Each structure stands twice: as C-alpha cells, then as structure tokens.
Amino acid sequence: MSIMAAVIEVTLNTTRDVLPIAVIIFGFQFFVLRRVPANLTAILWGFGWVLVGLSLFLLGLEWCLFPLGRLMAGQLTDPAFIQAVHGVGAVNWKDYYWVYIFAFAIGFSTTIAEPSLIAVAIKANEVSGGAIGITGLRISVALGVAFGISLGCYRIVVGDPIHWYIISGYVLVVLQTTVAPKMIIPLAYDSGGVTTSTVTVPLVAALGLGLSETVPGRNPLIDGFGLIAFASLFPILSVMAYAQLSEFRAKISRKKSGQ
C-alpha cells in the first residue's frame, strides 16, 4: 500500500506546516479573546477538510503535474529541440517561441487552479456585493500571470537585467493607479501576491531553471530567479484593467438605457 503510506506522510507534513498557524489562531482565541467561537465544531471540521484537501492536492500535483511539467520545461528548452525549430544556423531569441507559448499557457492554466486565488476571488465577490465576478477576476489575474511569465522567459533568453523590467512595471502600476477605479486598487495589489503559490511556483521555477541552464551565457544561479516576480507584477496591471473595462462597459450601457 505505497499510496496509503504516501498519503499519510504528506498529511503529516502538511499538519506540521499548519500547526504553527493553528497554535497562533487558537492560542489567541482562547487566551486573549477568551471566547469560544459560536460554530467551533464546524470550524474544526473545516480545518480538517483544509488539511486533507491540501495534502491530497499536493500529493496529486507531485504525481501528475510536476513531473510532467518539469519534463516538458526540460524538453522545450533543450538545445536540440530549439535547433530543430530553427533549422540550420545560429539560434536567436525568436526560436524560443514554443517556450513563450508554453509559459503563457502554463501560467494561465495553473493560475486558474490556484487555491489561494479562488479564496480571494470568493471573498472579493462577497464583499463587493457581486460587482466583481469570481470568474472575471480569476481570468484577468491568470492573463496577467501568463503575460508576465512569457515576458520573464524572454528576458532570460535575451539576458537583460531584471530590475529594468520590474522598475518599468512599477512605473506602469503607479500610473495606472491614478486612473483606475478607487475600489479595485487594494484588491489589484493583493492579486499580485496571491497568484504565486502551490501550483504555479514549482512549475515556473522549473521553467526558469531549464531556460537558464540551456541558453548559452546564462547562469542558472542568477538568471533562474525572477520569473515569480514577473508573475506577481503583471496581475496588478491586468486586474486594474479589468475594473476599468467593467466601468467602461457599465458607462456605455447606462448611456444606452438613458437614450
């Protein structure tokens, strides 16, 4: 029963990771607030579900998604594959187009499945009284991540210094903040941080490492990092754009109904 053993092992590991959080939460609950929450049983069950769910999720990823993703990242960045795409002669940055497409596709699809983004989207939908759609928010974040990772891969291929990209990104964020609807700004800033967790980080790290190992002149120790920063920056822009678009559409429909 190796499956059972693996499940138990991963659950124990997750429990160890969650334990400090649980100690802090329940410690403060009982010793500082000195109140038992009304629905304690349901909450404890909820923690149980989270624990089991996260363990199964991680284990499943470890078995199906991560090995395949790593394998693909390796194969797509393999010099032999790139040379085959290019044909004869020296390779330039355009020949990595399958890498960019893969980066876009895997960035988009892993973000859609990211549990913490689902959590924030549920909350945002609830708080905004339905004005912010769960699916709309998740798709705009995913598009931002997808674009960010593709651009990050391009950066590794051409070898530009990372800070110029990130600093220009910041300038764009600041400029867009001045025109975006006030209501969306905190949520947009938050979306940068939530996109990169359980599903996205391991795959993206594999892609960055694979690229920086195989592109001539790159040092995996230095150039392999930075993709996550790209993936945290661009969702801020895309979520603000999503809110601007919604506002624009609402204005148009108001005008139409006014006539």
Q: Which stretch binds other proteins (CB under 8 A): 57-65, 88-96, 249-257?
A: 57-65
Of residues 67 and 79, the one with the C-beta less far from other proteins: 67
Tell me the closest approach of the beta carbon of residue 250 to other proteins, in angstroms.
Answer: 16
Of residues 93 and 189, the one with the C-beta less far from other proteins: 189
Q: Is 61 in the site for other proteins (CB under 8 A)?
A: yes
CA–CA separation, 211 vs 42, rounded Å? 47
Q: Is 113 in the site for other proteins (CB under 8 A)?
A: yes
Q: Using CB under 8 A, which residues numbered 142 to 181 contact other proteins?
A: 161-163, 166-167, 170, 173-174, 177
Tell me the closest approach of the beta carbon of residue 23 to other proteins, in angstroms.
Answer: 8
DSSP E strand boundaries for 42-125 = none
Q: What string marks each residue from 73 to 92 as x (binds other proteins by CB under 8 A) or -?
A: --xx----x-----------
- CA angle 231–233–235, rounded 5-degree value: 75
Q: Using CB under 8 A, which residues numbered 186 to 245 contact other proteins?
A: 186-187, 189-190, 192-199, 201, 221-229, 231-232
Q: Which stretch binds other proteins (CB under 8 A): 88-96, 116-124, 249-257?
A: 116-124
Query: Which letter does DSSP use for residue 133 in this model?
Result: -
Q: Is 8 in the site for other proteins (CB under 8 A)?
A: no
Residue 242: Cβ within 10 Å count: 24
Q: Which residue has the tokens 């959590």?
A: 119
Q: Which residues contact 141 (CB under 8 A, 6 or more apart)?
A: 111, 117, 191, 194, 195, 235, 238, 239
- CA angle 98–191–10, rounded 5-degree value: 75
Tell me the closest approach of the beta carbon of residue 38 to other proteins, in angstroms.
Answer: 8
Cα dihedral 247→248→251→252 (10° resolution): -150
Tell me the closest approach of the beta carbon of residue 218 to other proteins, in angstroms.
Answer: 12
